[in-house]
A and B are shown apart, each in its own frame.
Chain A
Amino acid sequence: MNLPPFLRGAPTVARQEFLGNLKSVRMIMMVSLLSLVVVGGTYGLTAGGGFSGLPALVAWPHPAFAENGSHVAVVWVSSPFGAPLNGIEVEFSEPRGPTSAEVIGRASTNATGFVRLDVGNRTAVSVSARWGTSETGTSISFFPPSTNFTFAQDVGDLDDDGWVDDLGLHVLDLEGYPIDSPRPRLILNGTYVKDMDARGYGLVRLPEFTGTVNVTIQVAGEEEVLQLPVLEDPFSSFFGGPDLTLYLISSFMAFIGPIFAIVITFDAVSKEKVQGTLDLLLSRPVSRTGVLIGKFLGVFGAVAFPLTLVNLAALGVLGATSGESPTGSFAAAFLGYSLLLVALYVLIQLVFSSLAKTSGTAVLFGVLVWLLFNILYTVLTTMIGLAIPDAAARHEFGRYSALGSPSAIYSSLVSLAYPGELGAIFGGGTTLGGDVLGAAAVVWFIGLFALALWTFHKKAAE
């Protein structure tokens, strides 16, 4: 094959670089790490519950009435799963307007999680329970009772199945004690489910569907019927479906992809200097442009090949675990933009590898590049943004600041390809169009490529 003179040496160098890197120890380490983060992350986000929205503790408030007519505030404190918490400090206060309250007493929960306080004839009491740095608050109102029991409820996604369908109920008698013989019964949509336990607690799994269910509490012939909605868990990672999960995976990629590229590329040129093989290479019938292109293609191929395999594995896990596949165009964008991300970092590192004269300097450059574009850049642009006095100018600076970092361009491009709307909690979204981002990516690529070529020509051998 006759290559143009400027490409002489490129195929041989690319092949050598590709095979050499694929067989290296650092490649095995990086692919393991990448698989752990991307494939493992995908599995965790799809099969697991994602982000737990559960509190550390739950305070179950009950109004109780003493024989002398005095009001008694009774609170049972448990974990979200109904395990009683002993020694939790509970503060009772009386509301004095919308923002102030007067503390009327403090007490700690006993061995079975209960705390009681006689509040006299007060009709409303605020309750605050603190466990370490976690705090939960509730209130108790002393209305005339309509039944011979009082109950408190708490619904959440205890089993991380993506549905807010785990209903905890706590039932006491009007004196504030658990009811025994017979214990309260729980009935779901007309079907008996279970009795409450010795502390008055019961957990019911509601059916998984978006709608309303009837839960009945039966106590000695009396009953209370609750009509409860069942919702999807907003804190479940998979509630947004496979596209949102893939979007979250792309944020992992923005973090780990550059590390992968930097670790494989950092000494691509500098090691040749240290080994003395650069002179041997350049004395061959090769062009420097050809050698640099060969280096780029070889290293990029060695990064892109396993990266794409890992990404495809993640997509496979996503589909297999959830039974749903992400939108095809979004999956393709994820695969493609991940390659763009690592290509840009390979080029950046080729520039620094040509400048570095020792392996130590090359490592240092690698660490600094990653820190600069993945951490410092955000800090710097935020600080610069804050320093801009004009609000409109600050706003525009914020919009365009993503263009200054390959990682930010990647994240913006992925969010632009996202098929739906990205909520604020996922930090996604860009106000820049695909044309601007695409042009920025092209400018980055060409600019870095030219810089890598120039550095290699001028600095690598000197």
Chain B
Amino acid sequence: MIEVEGLTKVYGGSKGAKALDDVSFTVPEGGIFGFLGPNGAGKTTTIRVLATVLSPTAGTIRIGGHDLVDDPMAVKEKLGLMPDEVLFYPTLTGRQHLLYYASFYGIPRAEAKARATKYLDQFGLADARDKKVKAYSHGMRKRLALAQCLLHDPEVLIMDEPANGLDPQGMRYFRDLIRFLNKDGKTIFLSSHMLSEVEQLCERVGIIDRGRMVAVDSIQALSARLSAGAPTVLHVVAAGVTDEMVRALAAIPGVESAHRTETGVDVTARAGTDVSSEVSRSLVLAGAQLHGLHQEQRSLEDLFLTLTKGGAT
């Protein structure tokens, strides 16, 4: 798991720019944590601190139970980093890269070769394994970045924009892979500007803006929190809805309004009021065919824009 408490990073000495200010969040073991923020908000700095590339100015970070400052080697052994954009060493082949990186973990040569072959095959780089990386496409470098990240079987994966710049198939591939890795027990810290990707993958998200965490929670809880005070909207999918039925719905206590839609009826209730059971009972008893009912939630994009004051990712 990842525990970050009061992380502060100041570049260029005590009078330098504060890139991170009292950042705290927790990623439980086996969780996928989505990390969002506008450009320049501090996402990359956070990732570089978590990956032990930068030293924190203040704060406590524990990864896999080890303190990042006191025991960095133990932390390094447990994490795999997939940076956003890596050009790699242009004159080395894909396989040479993996063997080079494997040698830092004391993986025996034969085992390293077997793992390199396995991951290169698995990620569709079998034909390019002995080609120099300078001949790789962007997508191939992304897959090599993933292979080097997994090579030493780390417990924690830190991924910065893993699907950035990929075509739709590539994005789908990465999304499925991240789910697979998560099911395999990996704890994943995922920074992405693709909100739909984060929405589909992550249970919990953290939103950072101007170096400060503005929200850390599940998407559902965040949505609920931000929706507090706003009317609840129920989208009802039903056939045979009559004007009589709509008026009956509008008369239910707590309901502010109801109006027909192409697929059924939308019911707006007062904030904090759950009228779904009354609405469904009323419609069924009146003879409508009820196909579905769901409460409108605010999308991650709405949340993001609200929390970051409209900042672009």
Contacts and interface: CB of A to CB of B under 8 A. Distances in A.
A275 B73 contact: no
B79 interface: yes
A286 B73 CA distance: 7
Contacts of B87: 274-277
Given A20-B89, A20-B91, A275-B86, A286 B53 contact: no
A8 B54 CA distance: 18
B147 to A, nearest CB: 12
Nearest to B76: A285
Interface in A313-335: none
Interface string B37-54: 000000000001001111
B25 interface: no
Contact of B104 (A9, A279, A461, A462): A9
Interface of A: 5, 8-9, 12, 16, 20, 23-24, 274-280, 282-287, 461-462
A275 B104 contact: no
Given A279-B51, A285-B73, A12 B103 contact: yes
Contacts of B11: 462
B86 A283 contact: no
18 contacts: A8-B73, A12-B100, A275-B86, A276-B88, A277-B88, A279-B48, A279-B53, A279-B83, A280-B83, A280-B86, A280-B101, A280-B148, A282-B52, A283-B51, A284-B104, A285-B76, A285-B104, A461-B48
B89 to A, nearest CB: 6
Q: Closest 8 CB pairs between A and B?
A: A276-B86, A284-B104, A283-B51, A285-B76, A275-B87, A283-B81, A282-B53, A12-B103
Contacts of A23: 91
Given A20-B91, A280-B86, A286-B104, A461 B148 contact: no
Contact of B79 (A8, A277, A283, A286): A283
Contacts of B92: 20
Contacts of B5: none
A12 B76 CA distance: 16
Contacts of A282: 51-53
B180 interface: no
Nearest to B81: A283
Interface in B244-263: none
B173 interface: no
A83 B51 CA distance: 79
B61 to A, nearest CB: 14
Main secondary structure of the interface of B (DSSP, over half): loop
Interface string B1-43: 0000000000110000000000000000000000000000000
Contacts of B48: 279, 461
B161 interface: no
Nearest to A9: B104
B86 A284 contact: no
A459 to B, nearest CB: 10
A280 B148 CA distance: 9
A192 B85 CA distance: 86
A461 B54 contact: yes
Given A276-B83, A280-B83, A285-B76, 16 more contacts: A9-B104, A12-B100, A12-B103, A20-B91, A275-B87, A275-B88, A275-B89, A276-B86, A276-B87, A277-B87, A279-B81, A283-B76, A285-B104, A286-B76, A462-B11, A462-B12
B217 interface: no
B77 interface: yes
Contacts of B105: 284-285
B196 to A, nearest CB: 26
Contacts of B86: 275-277, 280
Contacts of B54: 461-462
Given A12-B100, A12-B104, A285-B104, A5 B73 contact: yes
Contact of B52 (A8, A16, A283): A283
B145 to A, nearest CB: 8
Interface in B89-106: 89-92, 100-101, 103-105
B21 to A, nearest CB: 18
Contact of A284 (B12, B76, B83): B76
A280 B89 CA distance: 11
A20 B91 CA distance: 8
Nearest to A457: B55
Contacts of A5: 73
A23 B91 CA distance: 10
Nearest to B50: A283
B106 to A, nearest CB: 8
A461 B12 CA distance: 12
A280 B84 CA distance: 11
Nearest to A284: B104
Interface centre among A9, A20, A282 (most CB of B within 10 A): A282
A48 to B, nearest CB: 40
A23 B90 CA distance: 13
Nearest to A272: B89
Contacts of A283: 51-53, 76, 79, 81
Contacts of A274: 87
Contacts of B100: 12, 16
A23 B92 CA distance: 11
A285 to B, nearest CB: 4
A231 to B, nearest CB: 57
A295 B200 CA distance: 43
A5 B90 CA distance: 30
Nearest to A285: B76
A277 B76 CA distance: 16
Contacts of A279: 48, 51, 53, 81, 83
Contacts of B90: 275
Contacts of B101: 280, 284
A299 to B, nearest CB: 15
B240 to A, nearest CB: 61
